Amino acid sequence: MLNKIETAFTKDFGLEYPIICAPMFLVSNTKMVIATSEAGGLGTFPALNFRPIENYRKAIRDIRAQTKKPIGVNIIVQSSNKFANEHLDIAIEEGVDLIITSLGSPREVIKKTRGTKTRVYSDVVGLEHAKKVADMGGDGLIAVGSGAGGHAGDISLFALIPYLKKHIDLPIIAAGSIVNGATLLAALSLGAAGVHMGTRFIASQEALVNEAYKKAIVDAGPEQIVNTDRVDGFPGNFILTPLLEKLGVHSGVVETVLNQNSKFKRYLSLYRAGRALFGSPESKASYKNIFSAGHGVGLIDEVLSISQIVEQTVREYHELKARLP
């Protein structure tokens, strides 16, 4: 075991390293969660990855049967997730250590988890939402920067992390292009208490995605990452594959005009979100055939096991830190 990396986040959860395997829709699975937590980080998964709801509870119990180390669940708290309350209740009942909220207000999640062992960290992309989370009593922030895969923010982590830290006294987890020891070191030096690694763990042996997805990550550079709302109705970062190029990444003239109507825009976003979340593999665009990834793809050269990724990341972190003046 390599030397620990101690931060407020690792002390709070009893971790060896401040690394979260980010919850990724249709990517995260029980093997990835177990492997990350056993390697000294914290494995998480989206509750919506397991349907019907009975499979979600079973997934938590299967993970608990194979690791006693901390684990986390991501719950989408937006109205489009009609299972949010059930996801929350089961997570609390099963003693999940961390809940990561996204796409909405975490108020109800924070309220229900008070007095339990479960902590609540919330995705934020700017100061306004971060302040609201802090005022509600949230335990931490996932600061999603412009280079993150999926639903990324607009602000560079180099600005976002110190900006949030200046105004809010909560542990901050950096999310966006964290793929190795150098980017881990950079995030912690900016004031982060940990990192959210997603894209790097997709190119792992434990990820049960098709090989084309893993190959696309290994082969892509940051120039191939495009931001579009045409996959699920919300701006997100995706690899520009031939399928996505055919679909188009920008709105046409008619759609642009119609989007001036707030009701139409909301309807279109919800329609695309539903198609992406619950659509069939033949859907024109869904997470099943469009590859989400962050700007860090250019630093990913091979598919490794999760334990190798964590060890390699931590080893590089210590080596680089020792060489700093």
Question: Helix (H, G, I), strand (E, B), or coil: what is residue 237?
Answer: strand
Helix, strand, coil share (%) of the chain residues, nearest 5: 45, 15, 40
> At 203, which CATH number?
3.20.20.70
Does 38 share its domain with 177? yes
The mean predicted confidence, pLDDT, of the chain is 89
Structurally, how many domains does the chain consist of? 2
Average pLDDT over residues 129-136: 96
Does 247 share its domain with 168? no
Model confidence, pTM: 0.88
Does 16 share its domain with 150? yes
Does 268 share its domain with 197? no
Distances, alpha carbon 149 to alpha carbons 97, 200, 259, in Å? 24, 10, 25
Q: How far apart are the first and last CA of the chain?
A: 26
Does 251 share its domain with 127? no
Closest by Cα among 102, 105, 42, 35 to 72: 42
Does 39 share its domain with 154? yes
| Contact yes or no for 165/155 (Cβ under 8 A) | no
**What token pair was written down for 206?**
């434990």
Q: How many CA atoms lie within 13 A of 293 on its CB side?
A: 32
**What token pair was written down for 303?**
């598919």
**What token pair was written down for 132?**
């609201």
Q: What pLDDT is stored for residue 261 in this prediction?
A: 64
Does 73 share its domain with 200? yes
Q: How many CB atoms lie within 10 A of CB 89?
A: 12
Whether residue 221 lies inside any domain: the answer is: yes
Whether residue 289 lies inside any domain: the answer is: no
Q: Determine which helix (DSSP H) or strand (DSSP E) holds 74, and give its type and residue range.
A: strand 71-76
Whether residue 3 lies inside any domain: the answer is: no
Closest by Cα among 71, 117, 80, 128 to 102: 80
Does 264 share its domain with 141? no
Residues 6+ apart with CB under 8 A from 124: 130, 133, 141, 142, 143, 144, 153, 164
Whether residue 291 lies inside any domain: the answer is: no
Does 25 share its domain with 142? yes
Q: How many CB atoms lie within 10 A of CB 64?
A: 15
Q: Where in the sequence is the domain holding 13, given as residue range(s)?
A: 8-208+301-323
Whether residue 200 lies inside any domain: the answer is: yes
Whether residue 283 lies inside any domain: the answer is: no
Spatial distance between the Cα atoms of 38 and 70, rounded to a whole number of angstroms: 9
Does 106 share its domain with 179? yes
Average pLDDT over residues 85-89: 94
Say which amino acid occupies 180: N
**What token pair was written down for 267?**
């309807």
| Contact yes or no for 197/312 (Cβ under 8 A) | no
- Read off the pLDDT of residues 262-321 as tens digits, 9 standing for 90 and up: 664 555 555 555 555 455 545 554 556 789 999 999 999 999 999 999 999 999 999 999
Spatial distance between the Cα atoms of 137 and 107, rounded to a whole number of angstroms: 8
Average pLDDT over residues 106-111: 95
Q: What pLDDT is stored for residue 255 in this prediction?
A: 45
Average pLDDT over residues 175-180: 96
Q: What pLDDT is stored for residue 267 in this prediction?
A: 53
- Read off the pLDDT of residues 197-249 as tens digits, 9 standing for 90 and up: 999 999 999 999 989 999 999 999 999 999 888 676 677 899 998 888 877 66
